[in-house]
A and B are shown apart, each in its own frame.
Chain A
Amino acid sequence: MTAALVIENLHKTYVRKAWLGKRVEKPVLRGIDLTLEEGKVLGLVGESGCGKSTLCKVILGIEPITSGTVQVAGVNINGLSTAKWRDLRRKMQVVYQDPYASLDPRFTVRQLVSEPLDIHKLYMDKSARENYLRELLNSVQLDVAFLDRYPHEFSGGQRQRIAIARALALEPQILIADEPVSALDVSVQAQILNLLKDIAQKRQLSMLFVTHDFAVARFLCDDIAVMHQGKIVEYAPAEELFAQPRQAYTQKLLSAVPTVPRGAL
């Protein structure tokens, strides 16, 4: 069995040309080893600026690798041809934090969700396409009547559902989710978290779920990786990590998490 993602000794350094042609280097990922097992949800938790989004961008091929290897569904992504990337992107999709920024306002929901299908020439038959779109919208619990509306007509939670539908359109095996609920209204976050959990189970998705919220990670994730200054400092099955965090850094983070006293609810 191959793992969904295998990352080995991954380094990423941002380089900026400064004054007088001087190169300023900023090492952000500093030797990441991480495996996302097939069909599992892996939580990537860490404080602001530790490199979580950078890791996602490298996995998605948006940022080049400095050194080390990333394998997506058994394929080494370094130096991959455009055609090979397109194949791979069919298997791996992404949902971002900000549902306002990630959907092009000029397109209707139908166009937004159809676009990946057009690119990969899938469901080209009109009625098959229509049925599939309806099925997709149903799976993210959106009314099919929304198909011909524009993103600005929706609330944050609805927009994130649209983004999820778009990501699922190609039936990917792997979903990269970079803080998908942190920009949502508090009363809507739970809806989306339940949805992601259902979808992951039903579709046997492998998901890399980035969050800075341990409570959310505990709800959704099978395994958890704690990241600190560009390194993975602890990696464990979620319940093990919460019961017995081994690293001092994890302990420090967990003890600082504010909690709501649970009463007679």
Chain B
Amino acid sequence: MTQAALTVQDLHLSFLTDEGALPVLRGLSYTLSPGKILAVVGESGSGKTVHALSILNLLPPNARVDQGKILYQGKNLLSMKSSALRRVRGRKIAMIFQDPQASLNPVLTVGEQLIETLRAHKRISKKTARKQAAELLTKVGIEEAEKRLEEYPFQFSGGMCQRVMIAMALALSPDVLIADEPTTALDVTIQAQILRLIKELQQQSGMAAIFITHNLAVAAQVADEVLVLYAGQCMEQAPASRLFSHPLHPYTQGLLGSLASVERKEERLPAITGNPPRPGEILTGCPFAPRCSHALKKCFETCPPLYEKDGCKVRCFLQEGK
């Protein structure tokens, strides 16, 4: 059996706040297969970013990992020394952050930052690095790349900074790319271009990726597998084709059913009632039960386990014994 590119095991994480410890991830588990793109979809606050930050130990100081492991090449990243982790970051596992403007250095030009990143990891001359940097910008759809290298991040729009970050991450040809909402701020045409680029890299270099998004259509475009996150738990994980054609969890079904379609006009959208749980809300039972039209009595009492079948995982009692 081939080794997974990344494995997350029973990850529990909370934030220490004035109101006490707020649980955010509640036993998240999944595997990322080598060379595959796994889309992690979920609503705002479901824990997508926090989970991604935990992989490279980039969490804010008030976050606490209560339990769990994240395995990369047989080692637990959560207990790795910071010097060892630095060698993993960037070159092996690269990350594109949700907030691109904040992750670029405002006092260096875009060119300086790209060249520095390239030269920190590759033995190449400044001139070659410069040429590669320009090529990278062109690749992510930034015109007049040569000229743009001289500019500072504030002269770039949010979407352009995002693309610079993407260029930087891809420059290192990492084993694993973690991309947190990399196209959310972008227009559809550029989004399509970036998605193609990530797919291309996956095919050429065998890169695996965790692609975080709240947009199911984007996930459908890019992913081999999809993980549906709700209130810090995996509700369903399945191959993309399967998940979109036969969603098993009532939450996944509800979400897909409630989306407006560009292909036809609907008179009414079958909406899910209610609201997602608030951060730190005490949940007994299934977190989706209060909004679920199929909920049984026991759904409010105990949280269902992840039932596994044919490479799909579903956290729902309706799948018990199926």
Q: Do the beta carbons of B273 and A259 come within 8 Å of each other?
A: no
A259-B220 in contact (CB<8A) = yes
Other-chain contact of B260, A187, A218, A252, A261 (Cβ < 8 Å): A218
A256 to B194 alpha-carbon distance, docked (Å): 11
B245 located at the interface, meaning its Cβ lies under 8 Å from any Cβ of chain A in the complex: yes
Residues of chain B within 8 A of A216, CB atoms compared = 260
Q: Does B18 contact A (CB under 8 A)?
A: no
Give 1 or 0 for each of A183-197: 1 = CB within 8 Å of chain B CB: 001111111011001
Q: Type the 1/0 row for B38-80, where 1 means its CB is closer than 8 Å to any CB of A.
A: 0000011000000000000000000000000000000000000
Q: Is there an interface contact between A265 and B253, defined as CB atoms closer than 8 Å?
A: yes
Cβ–Cβ contact A219 & B269, under 8 A: yes
Contact sample, A vs B, 15 pairs, CB 8 Å cutoff: A49-B157, A185-B44, A187-B255, A187-B276, A190-B269, A214-B262, A238-B265, A253-B189, A254-B262, A256-B188, A260-B217, A261-B245, A263-B246, A264-B245, A265-B247
Give min CB distance, A194 to chain B, whole Å: 6
> Which of B215, B216, B241, B272 gathers the greatest number of chain A CB atoms within 10 Å?
B272
**Which of chain A's residues 115-171 have a Cβ closer than 8 Å to chain B?**
155-158
Contacts of B185 in A (CB 8 A): 48
Sorted nearest first, the 7 A-B pairs with minimum C-beta distance are A263-B245, A190-B271, A190-B258, A190-B269, A258-B217, A47-B187, A215-B260
Residue among B217, B257, B260 with max Cβ neighbours from chain A (10 Å) = B260
Residue B159 at the A interface, CB < 8 A? Answer: yes
15 extra interface residue pairs, beta carbon distance < 8 Å, beyond A219-B261, A253-B188: A187-B276, A213-B260, A214-B262, A215-B260, A218-B261, A218-B262, A254-B262, A259-B217, A259-B261, A260-B217, A260-B256, A260-B259, A261-B245, A264-B245, A264-B246
Verify B216–A186 contact, CB threshold 8 A. Answer: yes
Is B270 part of the binding interface, using a Cβ–Cβ cutoff of 8 Å? yes
B265 lies within 8 A of A218 (CB): yes
A259 to chain B, nearest CB (A): 5
Would you give the shortest CB distance from B181 to chain A, in whole angstroms? 13
Q: Is A239 an interface residue (CB 8 A)?
A: yes
Residues of B within 8 A of A265 (CB): 247, 253, 256-257
Bound state CA distance, A73 and B309, in angstroms? 61
When C-beta atoms are compared, the residue in chain A nearest to B45 turns out to be A185
Query: 0/1 per residue, A229-259, Cβ < 8 Å to B?
Result: 0000000001100100000000011101111
Flag if B275 contacts A186 (CB, 8 Å).
no
CB neighbours (8 Å) of B147 from chain A are none
Of the candidates B195, B220, B268, B276, the one whose C-beta lies within 8 Å of that of A260 is: B220
- B28 located at the interface, meaning its Cβ lies under 8 Å from any Cβ of chain A in the complex: no
A213 to B215, CA, bound (A): 12
Closest to A218 in B: B265
In the assembled complex, B214 has its CB within 8 A of some CB on chain A: yes
Nearest chain B CB to A2 CB, angstrom units: 28
Q: Is A262 an interface residue (CB 8 A)?
A: yes
Residues of B within 8 A of A (CB): 43-44, 157, 159, 185-189, 191-192, 195, 214-218, 220-221, 241, 244-247, 251, 253-266, 268-273, 275-276, 278, 291
Residues A48 and B260 in contact, CB atoms below 8 Å apart: no
Q: Which residue of B lies closest to A249 (CB)?
A: B189
Please determine whether B187 and A259 come into contact, CB atoms closer than 8 angstroms. Answer: no
Among A185, A194, A254, the residue within 8 A (CB) of B276 is A185
Given contacts A187-B255, A215-B259, contact A258 B221 (CB under 8 A): yes
Contact between chains at B259 and A190 (CB < 8 Å): yes
- Which residues of A (30-61) have their CB < 8 Å from a CB of B? 47-49
List A contacts of B244 (CB < 8 A): 260-263
A219 touches B189 (CB 8 A): no
Contact A193 B260, beta carbon cutoff 8 Å: yes
With both beta carbons as reference points, the residue of chain B lying nearest to A239 in the complex is identified as B265
Asked if B218 and A258 make an inter-chain contact with CB atoms under 8 angstroms apart, the answer reads: yes
Q: Is B278 a contact partner of A47 (Cβ separation < 8 A)?
A: no
Q: How far apart are B159's CB and chain A's nearest CB, in angstroms?
A: 7
B273 CB contacts on chain A under 8 angstroms: 191
A194 to B281 CA separation, bound complex (whole angstroms)? 28
Question: Beta-carbon contacts of A176-216 to B below 8 Å, as 1s and 0s?
Answer: 00000000011111110110010000000000000011111
Contact A185 B275, beta carbon cutoff 8 Å: yes
- The listed residue (B192, B220, B241) touching A256 by CB distance below 8 A is B192
The answer to whether A194 and B271 touch across the interface, beta carbons within 8 angstroms, is yes
Question: Considering the chains assembled together, what is the distance between the CA atoms of A216 and B262 in angstroms?
Answer: 8
- Residue of chain A at shortest CB distance from B43: A185
Chain A min CB distance to B282 (Å): 17
**B159 and A242 form a contact (CB under 8 A):** no
Q: Given the known inter-chain contacts A194-B269, A256-B191, A263-B246, please indicate yes or no for A186 contacting B255, CB distance below 8 A.
A: yes
CB < 8 Å neighbour of A219 from B43, B245, B265: B265
Most buried by B among A49, A187, A212, A213: A187
Instruction: Determine which of B157, B245, B257, B271 lies in contact with A191 in the assembled complex, contact meaning CB atoms within 8 Å.
Output: B271
Contact with B along A55-76 (1 / 0, CB 8 A): 0000000000000000000000
The chain B residue with its CB closest to the CB of A265 is B257
Nearest Cβ on chain A to B206's Cβ, whole angstroms: 24
- In whole angstroms, how far apart are the Cα atoms of A47 and B186 in the complex? 9
CA distance A113 to B119 in the complex (A): 59
B188 near A257 with CB under 8 A, answer yes
Contact of B43 (CB < 8 Å), options: A186, A254, A263: A186
The residue that A48 contacts in the complex, of B187, B195, B241, B266, with Cβ under 8 A, is B187
